Amino acid sequence: MAQKIQGTEDLYGDYMRAWQHMQDTARELFGAYGFDMIETPAIEQIDTFVHGIGESTDVVRKEMFRVVSGALFSTLLEAGSEHGLKPRQRMAMRPEGTAGVVRAVVENNLVPQGSSPAKFWYAEAMFRGERPQKGRLRQFHQIGLEWIGASDAASDSECIIVLLEFFKRLGFDPAQLHVALNSMGDEACRPAYREKVRQFIVDHQDAMCDDCLERAKINPLRSFDCKNEACHAIMQQAPLVTDNLCDACVSHYDQVKAYLHKAGIAFSEDPTLVRGLDYYTRTVFEIDVVGAAVGAIGGGGRYDGLVEVSGGKPTPAVGFAVGFERIMLALASCGHPLEIPQPSCVYVAYTDAPQRQAVFDATLALRRAGIRAEADYQGRSLKSQFKQADKLGASLCVIIGEDELAHNYYTVRDMQTHEQTCVEVDGLVAFVSEHC
């Protein structure tokens, strides 16, 4: 039997309804903040991600699914390396949303000089070649928001505020949501800080793992995230970014915090919070659920350098992404599982073959009026049609028997009270609209 790839999931039924509900919630909430939806291709040139996310990040080095067309695949195998491929032939499945949105904004010139910001949100599948485990999939779904062209610290704070509101609308108790906040500095102060951390790792190299020694060469800040306990303990003593920010970054960070205080948003500062993608500058944040033990359910930050790296004019930007599957796990573990009931429907039942045409006519009329209607398509007995109606959670059942057909009316049964009403054929849609 064909099987799905490990770390991927089929979305249907309750789970699919929850994913759609999450998108509807995002559409309504983010729409009120002036964000429009965008969808970028699931495959992009590798360079879009390499330049944006960073060559040294785990996402790019280890987790990106690389793609070549079928025709090129055998050439690639024969050549033994991808060096002969042109840049446009080297593709990858998107591991995150920001790099693609920024590419689209630059390519379509959506933030011309002096214009207002581009404000987009997306709901897309992402692909990362991670070792599958609970809450860590190879194909998962993110909802994200990108605010491109906004430099004011108010936009950083509003991103956090709208994100918390989104979680609240999904059913989280705001008291359980923990916001971790940090500033990662910018091009003026981060290079010197990075060098300090590199030197710190070199000074402690005897006690640190090989991965961290490698990180010291390419991206020392990643060592703050090392899972090795010894490294973790040592990194607690490492120089902190917040002690090494330039004046402009300190001032921006102070403003972000002041706006959050003003809005009554609780947060804790975590000077070791470094997000896994290279493009972040200044504000970074992550949200997790106290007691849920599923990891971060969302995170984001400012990425003032990314538009320029992607070939555009220098343009400040800020955004975030949340993971659908993680949110589902977190909600379930808090005792508020996201359960979206099936929409109610009307079932049209009949007693015998001569009434089948009347069933066809009634369901068609109901559906044309936008009412969800179901009927039997397998020649079931009346009894099993009723069972089916119950299973589908029908609120009303239209019954068409010999007498109904002969005298041009329907019997409509309320499935809860079992009360039955005779309704003229022409009056069915009006009756159902009123009672469904």
What residues form the annotated binding site?
Answer: 96-98, 128, 142, 146, 275, 279-280
- Toward ligand AMP, which CB reaches closer, 220 or 323? 323
Q: Please state the closest distance from residue 334 (CB atom) to ligand AMP, in A.
A: 15
Q: Please state the closest distance from residue 244 (CB atom) to ligand AMP, in A.
A: 23
- Toward ligand AMP, which CB reaches closer, 46 or 234? 46
CB atoms within 10 A of CB 201: 22
**SS3 at position 142:** strand
Read off the tokens for 363.
């369901």
With residue 317 as reference, give the H or E element that holds it: strand 317-323
- Toward ligand AMP, which CB reaches closer, 44 or 325? 325
Q: Please state the closest distance from residue 259 (CB atom) to ligand AMP, in A.
A: 22
Q: Please state the closest distance from residue 245 (CB atom) to ligand AMP, in A.
A: 22
Q: Please state the closest distance from residue 111 (CB atom) to ligand AMP, in A.
A: 22
- Cα 392 to Cα 15, 151, 376, 385, 388: the distances in Å are 17, 51, 12, 10, 6
- Toward ligand AMP, which CB reaches closer, 300 or 405? 300
Annotated binding site for L-histidine: 96-98, 128, 142, 146, 275, 279-280
- Toward ligand AMP, which CB reaches closer, 296 or 362? 296
Q: Please state the closest distance from residue 16 (CB atom) to ligand AMP, in A.
A: 17
- Toward ligand AMP, which CB reaches closer, 27 or 136? 136
Q: Please state the closest distance from residue 175 (CB atom) to ligand AMP, in A.
A: 20
CA 119 – CA 162 distance, rounded (Å): 13
CB half-sphere exposure, 263, CA atoms < 13 A: 19
Could you say which DSSP state residue 242 is in?
G
- Toward ligand AMP, which CB reaches closer, 295 or 401? 295
345 neighbors 392 (Cβ within 8 angstroms): yes
Which parts of this chain interact with ligand AMP (CB under 6 A)?
96, 128, 130, 135-137, 140, 142, 276, 296-299, 321-323, 325-326
Q: Find, among 32, 35, 23, 60, the residue nearest to 45 by Cα.
A: 60
Residue linked to tokens 């009672």: 435
Q: What is the largest CA-CA distance in the chain?
A: 94
CA 320 – CA 343 distance, rounded (Å): 31
266 neighbors 253 (Cβ within 8 angstroms): no
Sheet of strand 409-414: strand arrangement: 373-375, 346-350, 396-400, 409-414, 420-424
Residue 405 CB contacts under 8 Å (≥ 6 apart), including other chains = 354, 355, 358
Could you say which DSSP state residue 241 is in?
G
Q: Find, among 193, 356, 366, the residue nearest to 274 by Cα.
A: 193
Q: Please state the closest distance from residue 335 (CB atom) to ligand AMP, in A.
A: 19
- Toward ligand AMP, which CB reaches closer, 11 or 246? 11
- Cα 365 to Cα 166, 271, 350, 355, 370: the distances in Å are 38, 62, 16, 16, 9
297 neighbors 323 (Cβ within 8 angstroms): yes
In the complex, residue closest to ligand AMP by CB: 323
